Amino acid sequence: MKPLTNAKPTAPTPSVRPALNRPPTAEERRRAQRVLLRIAVTIHVNGKGPIAGNTHTVSASGAMIILPEALPEGTKLTIENSKTGNKVEARVARAPQVTGEGSLVPVEFMTASPIFWNVFFPPSVN
């Protein structure tokens, strides 16, 4: 067979999955999916009385909780789901953000507790 002499050089074809050619976004790096869900919770911290709050978002590994006061990063606490009465040990993952609603306190569970919120979290697609 004779080689084609009139053939134009072909440009590289773009990737069908361009996300593989760039660093992952913050959302793609998350350990677990987040769900906007307002659940009444009571926070128990040693040396303080119970603190009433609500979740802003929940995940299989923790939550963002709206509290009337900020808690410092690293604070160990117990989250009580006011609806079920279930409790789980957690810690403040990073410094809270203050908003008009109160302090947004990011907490992560000390041990995996994917069913604590009574929500089904599909497996990550990353």
One-character DSSP codes across 28-71:
HH-SS--EE---EEEEE-TTS--EEEEEEEEETTEEEEEESS--
Residues in the chain: 126
State the pTM of this model. Answer: 0.73
Contact between residue 40 and residue 86 where contact means Cβ atoms under 8 Å apart: no
Contact between residue 40 and residue 82 where contact means Cβ atoms under 8 Å apart: yes
What confidence category does residue 7 fall into, taking pLDDT thresholds of 50, 70 and 90? low
More confident residue, 55 or 16: 55
Domain assignments of the chain as residue spans, ordered by start: 30-109
CATH 3.30.260.10 fits 30-109, yes or no: no
- Position 14 scores a pLDDT of 54
The stretch 80-108 carries a mean pLDDT of 96
Whole-number Cα distances in Å, 13 to 8, 10, 18 = 14, 8, 11
